[in-house]
Amino acid sequence: MNTPNIVLTRVDNRLVHGQVGVVWTSSIGANLLLVANDDAAKSELQQELMAATAETSGVGIRFWSLEKTISTISKASPRQKIFLIIKTPQDALTLAKGGVPIKKLNVGNMHHSGNKVSLTKKVYVDQADIAAFKELVKLGVDVYIQDVPDEKKILIEDVI
Protein backbone atom coordinates (compact mmCIF):
# COMPACT_ATOMS: atom_id res chain seq x y z
CA MET A 1 0.00 0.00 0.00
CA ASN A 2 1.30 3.40 -1.01
CA THR A 3 0.64 6.68 0.68
CA PRO A 4 -1.08 8.67 -2.06
CA ASN A 5 0.46 11.99 -3.04
CA ILE A 6 -2.48 14.23 -2.12
CA VAL A 7 -1.19 17.76 -2.66
CA LEU A 8 -4.39 19.40 -1.43
CA THR A 9 -7.93 18.54 -0.36
CA ARG A 10 -10.60 21.19 -0.91
CA VAL A 11 -14.18 21.52 0.25
CA ASP A 12 -16.16 23.27 -2.47
CA ASN A 13 -19.86 22.68 -2.90
CA ARG A 14 -19.45 23.42 -6.61
CA LEU A 15 -16.79 20.69 -6.88
CA VAL A 16 -14.79 21.35 -10.09
CA HIS A 17 -15.29 24.71 -11.80
CA GLY A 18 -12.94 27.24 -13.39
CA GLN A 19 -11.36 28.49 -10.18
CA VAL A 20 -10.66 24.98 -8.92
CA GLY A 21 -9.79 23.43 -12.26
CA VAL A 22 -7.51 26.18 -13.49
CA VAL A 23 -6.29 28.52 -10.72
CA TRP A 24 -5.86 26.02 -7.88
CA THR A 25 -4.67 23.14 -10.04
CA SER A 26 -1.82 25.14 -11.55
CA SER A 27 -0.95 26.79 -8.22
CA ILE A 28 -0.46 23.48 -6.40
CA GLY A 29 1.03 21.54 -9.33
CA ALA A 30 -1.64 18.83 -9.40
CA ASN A 31 -1.88 16.47 -12.36
CA LEU A 32 -5.01 14.60 -11.26
CA LEU A 33 -8.32 15.93 -9.98
CA LEU A 34 -10.11 13.37 -7.83
CA VAL A 35 -13.74 14.26 -7.18
CA ALA A 36 -14.87 12.19 -4.19
CA ASN A 37 -18.62 12.56 -4.22
CA ASP A 38 -21.32 9.91 -4.31
CA ASP A 39 -23.67 11.95 -6.54
CA ALA A 40 -21.02 13.05 -9.06
CA ALA A 41 -19.74 9.46 -9.28
CA LYS A 42 -23.16 8.50 -10.69
CA SER A 43 -23.96 11.57 -12.84
CA GLU A 44 -22.70 11.56 -16.43
CA LEU A 45 -23.81 15.18 -16.91
CA GLN A 46 -21.85 16.43 -13.88
CA GLN A 47 -18.85 14.41 -15.01
CA GLU A 48 -18.95 15.84 -18.55
CA LEU A 49 -19.05 19.43 -17.26
CA MET A 50 -16.22 18.92 -14.79
CA ALA A 51 -14.12 16.92 -17.26
CA ALA A 52 -14.22 19.85 -19.69
CA THR A 53 -12.63 22.07 -17.04
CA ALA A 54 -9.95 19.45 -16.29
CA GLU A 55 -9.21 19.11 -20.02
CA THR A 56 -8.66 22.87 -20.24
CA SER A 57 -6.01 22.54 -17.53
CA GLY A 58 -4.41 19.49 -19.12
CA VAL A 59 -4.94 17.27 -16.07
CA GLY A 60 -6.68 13.97 -15.54
CA ILE A 61 -9.93 13.67 -13.61
CA ARG A 62 -11.65 10.81 -11.78
CA PHE A 63 -15.08 10.62 -10.17
CA TRP A 64 -15.24 8.23 -7.23
CA SER A 65 -17.73 7.61 -4.46
CA LEU A 66 -16.48 8.22 -0.93
CA GLU A 67 -16.25 4.45 -0.38
CA LYS A 68 -14.24 3.87 -3.56
CA THR A 69 -11.92 6.72 -2.58
CA ILE A 70 -11.31 5.10 0.82
CA SER A 71 -10.70 1.65 -0.68
CA THR A 72 -8.70 2.67 -3.76
CA ILE A 73 -6.67 5.85 -3.21
CA SER A 74 -3.79 3.96 -1.58
CA LYS A 75 -3.18 2.30 -4.98
CA ALA A 76 -2.34 5.65 -6.59
CA SER A 77 0.98 5.95 -8.37
CA PRO A 78 3.54 8.15 -6.59
CA ARG A 79 3.77 10.27 -9.76
CA GLN A 80 0.11 11.25 -9.40
CA LYS A 81 -0.16 14.63 -7.70
CA ILE A 82 -3.72 14.41 -6.48
CA PHE A 83 -6.04 17.36 -5.88
CA LEU A 84 -8.87 15.81 -3.85
CA ILE A 85 -12.12 17.76 -4.20
CA ILE A 86 -15.10 17.12 -1.95
CA LYS A 87 -18.42 18.80 -1.29
CA THR A 88 -18.76 18.96 2.52
CA PRO A 89 -16.72 18.89 5.72
CA GLN A 90 -18.62 15.72 6.65
CA ASP A 91 -17.23 14.07 3.49
CA ALA A 92 -13.73 15.11 4.55
CA LEU A 93 -14.30 13.54 7.96
CA THR A 94 -15.63 10.31 6.41
CA LEU A 95 -12.52 10.08 4.21
CA ALA A 96 -10.12 10.90 7.05
CA LYS A 97 -11.72 8.34 9.37
CA GLY A 98 -11.60 5.84 6.50
CA GLY A 99 -7.83 6.17 6.29
CA VAL A 100 -7.40 8.71 3.49
CA PRO A 101 -4.35 10.75 4.55
CA ILE A 102 -5.73 14.28 4.51
CA LYS A 103 -3.11 16.61 5.97
CA LYS A 104 -4.47 19.96 4.74
CA LEU A 105 -8.11 20.86 4.15
CA ASN A 106 -8.75 24.01 2.17
CA VAL A 107 -12.29 25.31 2.63
CA GLY A 108 -13.34 27.21 -0.46
CA ASN A 109 -17.04 27.57 -1.08
CA MET A 110 -19.91 26.53 1.15
CA HIS A 111 -23.07 28.28 -0.01
CA HIS A 112 -25.71 29.67 2.30
CA SER A 113 -28.72 27.44 2.86
CA GLY A 114 -31.18 26.75 5.65
CA ASN A 115 -29.89 27.90 9.02
CA LYS A 116 -26.24 28.28 8.02
CA VAL A 117 -24.30 31.26 9.36
CA SER A 118 -21.48 33.15 7.70
CA LEU A 119 -17.84 32.57 8.58
CA THR A 120 -16.68 34.54 5.54
CA LYS A 121 -18.46 35.94 2.49
CA LYS A 122 -18.17 32.54 0.77
CA VAL A 123 -18.30 30.08 3.65
CA TYR A 124 -21.53 29.37 5.51
CA VAL A 125 -21.79 26.66 8.15
CA ASP A 126 -24.25 24.95 10.45
CA GLN A 127 -23.60 23.02 13.66
CA ALA A 128 -22.89 19.76 11.78
CA ASP A 129 -20.24 21.52 9.66
CA ILE A 130 -18.62 23.05 12.74
CA ALA A 131 -18.58 19.67 14.53
CA ALA A 132 -16.93 18.04 11.49
CA PHE A 133 -14.30 20.79 11.28
CA LYS A 134 -13.51 20.47 15.00
CA GLU A 135 -13.12 16.70 14.69
CA LEU A 136 -10.84 17.07 11.66
CA VAL A 137 -8.64 19.49 13.62
CA LYS A 138 -8.50 16.95 16.49
CA LEU A 139 -7.35 14.36 13.95
CA GLY A 140 -4.42 16.66 13.09
CA VAL A 141 -5.75 18.10 9.84
CA ASP A 142 -4.69 21.68 9.04
CA VAL A 143 -8.13 23.20 8.22
CA TYR A 144 -8.27 26.70 6.77
CA ILE A 145 -10.44 28.93 4.62
CA GLN A 146 -8.82 30.27 1.46
CA ASP A 147 -10.83 31.13 -1.64
CA VAL A 148 -7.92 31.60 -4.04
CA PRO A 149 -4.19 30.82 -3.65
CA ASP A 150 -3.04 34.43 -3.25
CA GLU A 151 -5.48 35.16 -0.40
CA LYS A 152 -4.40 34.93 3.21
CA LYS A 153 -5.38 31.68 4.94
CA ILE A 154 -7.90 31.92 7.78
CA LEU A 155 -7.46 29.11 10.30
CA ILE A 156 -10.80 27.45 10.98
CA GLU A 157 -10.10 27.52 14.74
CA ASP A 158 -10.02 31.32 14.56
CA VAL A 159 -13.59 31.61 13.23
CA ILE A 160 -15.63 28.75 14.74
Q: Looking at the domain assignment, is residue 139 inside a domain?
A: yes
Catalytic residue among 14, 17, 104, 116: 17
pLDDT of residue 1: 60
**Residue 22 burial (CB count, 10 A):** 16
Tens digits of per-residue pLDDT, 19-35?
888 899 999 999 999 99
Q: How far is CA 50 from the centre of its chain?
A: 14
Dist CA 142 CA 79 (whole Å):
24
**Known catalytic membership, residue 17:** yes
Q: Looking at the domain assignment, is residue 100 inside a domain?
A: yes
Q: Looking at the domain assignment, is residue 147 inside a domain?
A: yes
Tens digits of per-residue pLDDT, 10-21?
999 999 988 888
Direct distance between the N- and C-terminal alpha carbons of the chain, in angstroms, rounded to an integer: 36
Q: What is the mean pLDDT of each run of 10 residues along the chain (160 residues)?
A: 91 91 93 97 96 92 98 96 98 98 97 94 97 98 96 96
Closest CA to 34 of 89, 84, 73: 84
Number of domains in the chain: 1
Q: Looking at the domain assignment, is residue 156 inside a domain?
A: no
pLDDT of residue 144: 98
Task: Report yes or no: 82 and 7 within 8 Å, Cβ to Cβ.
Answer: yes
Q: Looking at the domain assignment, is residue 50 inside a domain?
A: yes
